[in-house]
Amino acid sequence: MSQKEAQKPQKGALKLENKTDKKKEEKGIHTLYKIEDEKVTRLRPTCERCGAGYFMAKHQDRYTCGHCGFTRYKQVEK
C-alpha cells in the first residue's frame, strides 16, 4: 500500500464527518391548518391566481405556488 492510498479517507467515514444534525420540519396536512376549539385556520396563504385549493410553499424570504409559479415576497421587518 502506498502513502497516497493510506491518506485517503474511506467513503463511509467521510459521510459521517460531514453530517450535520438538523431538525427536519414536520410534513403533512397537519402543518397547513391550526385547530383551536372548533375553529380551523389556515397557516399559509393560498395562491391568488389558482384559488383557495392551492397553498403556497413557505421559503425563507417568500411564498411560492407550486402549481403556477406565482411568488409573493415577505415583507422585511426593520
pLDDT, tens digit only, all 78 positions of the chain: 566 656 666 665 555 555 677 777 777 888 888 999 999 999 999 999 999 889 999 999 999 999 999 999 998 887
Q: Is 29 helix (H, G, I), strand (E, B) or coil?
A: helix
pLDDT of residue 2: 61
Distance separating alpha carbons of residues 77 and 20, to the nearest angstrom: 30
Cell of 7: 491518506
Ranges of each domain in the chain:
49-78
pLDDT of residue 17: 55
